[in-house]
Amino acid sequence: MKKLFAVLSVVFVFLSLFSCKKSSPGSPSASNTPNYTQTEFAQYTHTITPTRTVSPTITVSPTITRTSTITPTFTLSSTATNSPTPIASYSDLASVPGGEFTQTDGTNSFSHTISAFKMGRYQVTYDLWYKVYQWAVANGYTFQNAGAEGSSGTPGAAPTTAKYQPVTYVSWRDAIVWCNAYSQKTGLAPFYCSDSGFTTAIKSSADGSYGSNVNTTAGSFDNPYVNWGANGYRLPTEGEYQYAACYINGEAWTPYNYASGATADTTNEAATDLVGWDNVNSGGTTTEVVGGLAANALDIFDMSGNVWEWCWDWDENYPATASTNYRGPSSGYFRVLRGGSFSAGAYYLELGYRDSSTPYLSTGFSFGFRFARSN
């Protein structure tokens, strides 16, 4: 029995030595050695090493950096309101492609080809009016009316929190003189001149003896020489106004009895109120910040509603034949107004609706304008 025990001891020692040699610490094959304490220790050592590579995964800092970029998302969403963040005093221009359309008021119509031009995206705000007005009076310009901040502002007063409402209480004469001033202030060629050579810009809208009648003298503020090739600011023609208001893609056009950008005619008050301020959605008591409703297909705002807008043309019936860049008759008594207003019913916001007034009238708290430029 002792002999057997001795033999087994020798065998046990031999096997132990063999196992130790085969599974020394750090050996790649150590993990294959079964049921031996040192082997298990070797396996544990090797297993824990990759576990320590968890430290690189603590590079969660990039993830934290990504989450911090959520801030711009909040900023963007905050601007999606009916009172957009002011952009350059709302002086942007939209490019209007040229083309041919049927200009109609629902009764009379003609085929009208319009050359490409630029149209102000917004009605002229009191803020922009005031800045140009201040520069103008300091540089030899005179105005009959100082303009007001929306429907309830004080004429000529410094802008307030309502400064991005449209300028009102301005006559047609004030509008063309302001356009000349804006042109000169920005280094562009004035549009309305007192001479046929286009060397002298008209700088005064003061009524003088023409506060209740039209001055038909060539070169006067009611009958200016117009440099249609100039690059300055001007009033849009009536044709340009309706063309930009009803343009969709050059082949399709918004019908004459819709508001600009609407999906249904003006008998559908809900569709009209999405794009134009009338006496329903405004309450009929006050003008609104420009650009507060949806734009039309050219990304132009308020072409229906908020304030009536002065256009270049003398008012008359449409021509009987097709025309290109029609600019109205050479004389008249009333200048065209387009677009409707906050105090009017939806019917007056129709694209085809035409209104007009004398060029010296400025008492309208719902009279404003937007500018255009030739290409």
What pLDDT is recorded for position 37?
34
Mean pLDDT within 171-191 = 98
Mean pLDDT within 139-148 = 98
Q: How far apart are CA 85 and CA 81, in angstroms?
A: 9
Classify strands 117-120 and 372-374 as parallel, antiparallel or unpaired.
antiparallel
What pLDDT is recorded for position 87?
54
Say if CB 174 and CB 148 are below 8 A apart: no
Q: How far apart are CA 300 and CA 207, in angstroms?
A: 33
CB atoms within 10 A of CB 270: 11
pLDDT digits (tens, 9 = 90+) for 300-318: 999 999 999 999 999 999 9
Mean pLDDT within 45-58 = 39
Please state which of the ranges 3-12, 93-102, 330-339 shows the lowest mean pLDDT. Answer: 3-12
Say if CB 346 and CB 266 are below 8 A apart: yes
What pLDDT is recorded for position 88?
62
Mean pLDDT within 246-262 = 98
In single-letter form, the type of residue at position 130 comes to Y
- In this prediction, residue 364 has a pLDDT band, given cuts at 50, 70 and 90, of confident
- The residues spanned by each domain of the chain are 19-58, 89-375
Tokens 């503020």 belong to residue:
221
Q: How far apart are CA 247 and CA 297, in angstroms?
A: 7
Say if CB 190 and CB 232 are below 8 A apart: yes
* pLDDT cut 70: percent of the chain above it: 76
- In this prediction, residue 332 has a pLDDT band, given cuts at 50, 70 and 90, of very high
Please state which of the ranges 48-52, 77-81, 119-123, 204-208 shows the lowest mean pLDDT. Answer: 77-81
Phi, psi of 101 (to 5 degrees): -145, 170
Q: Is the pLDDT of residue 361 over 50?
A: yes
Residue 34's Cβ-count burial label (10 Å; 0-12, 13-18, 19+) is exposed
Q: Per CATH, the architecture of 89-375 is what? A: Alpha-Beta Complex (3.90)
Q: Is the pLDDT of residue 337 over 60?
A: yes
What pLDDT is recorded for position 366?
94
Q: How far apart are CA 111 and CA 100, in angstroms?
A: 7
Q: How far apart are CA 317 and CA 315, in angstroms?
A: 7
Q: Is the pLDDT of residue 9 over 70?
A: no
Say if CB 363 and CB 289 are below 8 A apart: no
Q: Is the pLDDT of residue 38 over 90?
A: no
According to DSSP H, which parts of 125-171 are helical? 126-137
Classify strands 93-96 and 117-120 as parallel, antiparallel or unpaired.
antiparallel
Mean pLDDT within 87-111 = 93
Q: Is the pLDDT of residue 165 over 80?
A: yes
* pLDDT cut 90: percent of the chain above it: 76
Q: How far apart are CA 181 and CA 202, in angstroms?
A: 9
Please indicate whether residue 245 or residue 6 has the higher confidence score (pLDDT). 245
Q: How far apart are CA 307 and CA 288, in angstroms?
A: 9
What pLDDT is recorded for position 363?
84
Q: What is the mean pLDDT of the chain?
A: 83
